[in-house]
Amino acid sequence: MIHRSYLFARGWRSATPVLLLLPGFLLYLVMAVGPSLATAVYSFTDATGIRGIAVNWIGFENYDEFLLRGAASRDNIAALRRTVYFCFFVTVIQFGIGLVFAVLLNQKIRGKKFFRTLFFMPVILGVAIQGLIWKLFLLPRGGPAAEFFQLFGWTSELLGGQPRQAFAWVIVVQIWANAGITMVIFLAGMQTIPNELYEAARIDGAGKWQLFRNVTWPLLTPAVNTNLLLNIIGSLQAWQLFLVLIGYRPGTQVLGYLVFAEGFGQTSGSVASAFRQGYAAAASIALFILVLVFALVTHAWLSHREKRYIG
Amino acid sequence: MTAVETPQAPRRATEHRPERAARREPPRWLAWLKRQKLASYVILLVFAVLYIGPLLMLVSTAFKTLPEFFRNPTGMPESLRFENFTEAWNEAQFARYLVNSVVYTTVATAVCVVTSVLVAFPIARGYLKGGRYILLLYVIALFLPPALIPQFQLILNLGLFNTRAGYILLFLVNPIGIIILVNYIKAIPRELDESAAIDGCGYYRFVFKIIVPLIRPAIATVTVLHAIGLWNELVLAIIYLTNDDLYPVTRGLIAFEGLYGSNWPPMAAAVLILMMPMVVLFLFLQRYIVSGLTAGAVKG
């Protein structure tokens, strides 16, 4: 168990590192890896959330019901499509805004620290506080956002409006909450770009746009990759702001929320209710496969692009 | 080497394809904008309003009476009234929620960090056979399916549903933390181990007396990363804790919202009360928090 290179006391005491490692490692196996793999197993059963009820193997029935033949399968497919929309809009806009923040705050500018702090702050607040803050801000009658839109003669129920509108507002809040991380990763990437490159390019007569296009952007590739992957994976799995902002409303559900609602009830868990955890496990495997496919395709595309840029 | 080559590459390209040179030129309006720092400030200020606006609304609501709020939700409060804060504090059991959150966060984070160091050190040093595969197992974890449902069945069957112990059990491992620690420990010279071993220092004492102080920045990063995630956790609290006495602040806040509904002034006060410690902590520990929340990301 112990490698030859181990330097400390030999004999029975050489078991110390293994003994000390075991608690953490076993916890990891039991609480994380095991349950992770077991999700696939559960997806083939009719498990409920009740203790002591027999669990039966039912094969692909959950998947069949979820995607093909169940009464809700059409809604489930719609939720799947919505998850992709959510991912698309959040990723594109958050990536863009994060990049703009980083570019603007990477120059010599007054209040740089203030802006960075401000834009990053929502990240640390957590969904409960993020959601409640925006629920108040988006108050349909007389709230600041409603008042603002009133100026253009547009009245709206905002979060309480059409499903599509409520959905769009969740996208806004999701971006507000997380653009700070994107910004910080871009800023970290920009700080690794050596100044000499800019000077050399400037001597060659490059303008600001050319500096960005030909120096910053190509050399920012690692940060671009990280941000894209993080945003895509994160937004495909995100659903908690839906819970806080609008609840389980038809026409707005995404896959992650569906898993929670089927497995544990729609808004708050209650003991020993007959929730369908096998079915929910199948839904979460579906989501997992979606994330995996998106991540792999993006990764392949990014490494192709990286080869073109850096070679 | 690239610095020498790059100036040539575009030139060659422009010789063959002149139309690309034209495309390299910025649009004229963009060039103008770039020259003015003014544009930068305008953009930043517009976004700053979007970021501050919701917070301002929160603060002003917290100081209003309910009739005042209904009459004029958006305007400034007529006077600074602190009744909402006392009402929120007394009506919901926020003192208890805070105690719960503090207990969960400190216990779970402490256990997580200590066990993580003990996992990370021998792996980073190669003291274990197959240590590389153990590390691989931690990296792979980031790509495994969600553990939500079997985890629930596990806790349920252990009889730990709706208990503090069960809830804490959910937060004792952090694969990203392990990866951060391993990378950091690798940068510490091995000669240190050798001389300590020669001097007869035991493994346990070496890890805690010599290594831990040396990797303090990494430990701070992991601690902050883990503690923030745990403090902000809402969904697991909803799933696992049904007893009001066990709620952490996030769950308590949502419960309070359920009771108070559209009675926003005390709601806003409650949100502010629970937000302030986070904001203050953030302003002081910004460096660690930012590195903690992005460290895992930059590695990937």
Give residue B74's pLDDT band: very low, low, confident or very high (50, 70, 90): confident
Q: Please say if the pLDDT value at position B215 is more than 50.
A: yes
The reported pLDDT for the residue numbered B34 is: 59
* B78 touches A160 (CB < 8 A): no
Looking at chain A from residue 23 to 42, which residues have their Cβ under 8 Å from any Cβ of chain B? Answer: 23-25, 27-28, 30-42
User: For residue A206, is it within any domain?
Assistant: yes
Superfamily of the domain at B88-299: MetI-like (1.10.3720.10)
Say whether both A175 and A113 belong to one domain.
yes
CB-side neighbour CA atoms (13 Å) of A246: 27
Q: Does A269 touch chain B (CB under 8 A)?
A: yes
Q: How many CB atoms lie within 10 A of CB A288?
A: 22
Say whether both A303 and A172 belong to one domain.
yes
Enclosing domain of residue A37: 11-42
pLDDT digits (tens, 9 = 90+) for B151-164: 999 998 899 999 99
- Answer yes or no: do B134 and A287 touch at CB < 8 A: no
Say whether both A100 and A177 belong to one domain.
yes
**What token pair was written down for B36?**
């003015």
**ipTM rounded to 2 decimals:** 0.89
More confident position, B17 or B73: B73
Q: How many CB atoms lie within 10 A of CB B113?
A: 21
At A2, which amino acid appears?
A: I
Mean pLDDT, chain A, integer: 89
The reported pLDDT for the residue numbered A156 is: 81
Given CA atoms A214, A219, A223, A224 in this order, what sign does their dihedral have?
A: positive
Q: Please say if the pLDDT value at position B20 is more than 60.
A: no
Count of the separate structural domains present in chain A: 2
Tell me the domain boundaries of chain B.
2-81, 88-299
Say whether both A69 and A32 belong to one domain.
no
Say whether both A191 and A261 belong to one domain.
yes
- Answer yes or no: do A16 and B156 touch at CB < 8 A: no
Give residue B296's pLDDT band: very low, low, confident or very high (50, 70, 90): low
Helices (H), A107-194: 112-120, 126-137, 144-150, 163-191
Q: Please say if the pLDDT value at position B52 is more than 90.
A: yes
User: For residue A244, is it within any domain?
Assistant: yes
pLDDT digits (tens, 9 = 90+) for B78-128: 888 888 899 888 887 888 999 999 999 999 999 999 999 999 999 999 999
Dist. CA A249–CA A247, nearest whole Å = 6
Mean pLDDT, chain B, integer: 85
Say whether both A264 and A153 belong to one domain.
yes
Say whether both A180 and A246 belong to one domain.
yes
**Helices then strands (H, E): number in chain A?**
15, 0
pLDDT digits (tens, 9 = 90+) for A5-43: 888 877 667 788 999 999 999 999 999 999 999 999 999
Residues in CB range of A143: below 8 A, 6 or more apart? A136, A137, A158, B57, B73, B74
- Answer yes or no: do A104 and B44 touch at CB < 8 A: yes
User: For residue A121, is it within any domain?
Assistant: yes
* A16 touches B203 (CB < 8 A): yes
User: For residue A18, is it within any domain?
Assistant: yes
**What token pair was written down for A135?**
């629920």
Q: Which chain A residues are closer than 8 Å to B152 by Cβ?
A: 49, 263-264, 277
Give residue A280's pLDDT band: very low, low, confident or very high (50, 70, 90): very high
How much is the average pLDDT of B205-222?
A: 92
> Which residue of chain A comes nearest to B287, CA vs CA?
A117
Dist. CA A86–CA A230, nearest whole Å = 14
Helix axes B83-91, B94-125, angle to 10 degrees: 70
User: For residue A76, is it within any domain?
Assistant: yes
Q: Which of B185, B193, B172 is nearest to B135 (CA)?
A: B185
* Residue bearing tokens 């989501």: A287
The reported pLDDT for the residue numbered B4 is: 37
Encode burial over B257-266: b for 16+ CB neighbours within 10 A, e otherwise.
beebeebbbb
Q: Which chain A residues are closer than 8 Å to B209 by Cβ?
A: none
Out of A115, A117, A143, the one facing B286 most closely (by C-beta) is A117
Q: Does A107 touch chain B (CB under 8 A)?
A: yes
Q: Which chain A residues are closer than 8 Å to B157 by Cβ?
A: 51
Query: pTM of this prediction?
Result: 0.88
Say whether both A32 and A161 belong to one domain.
no
Give residue B37's pLDDT band: very low, low, confident or very high (50, 70, 90): confident
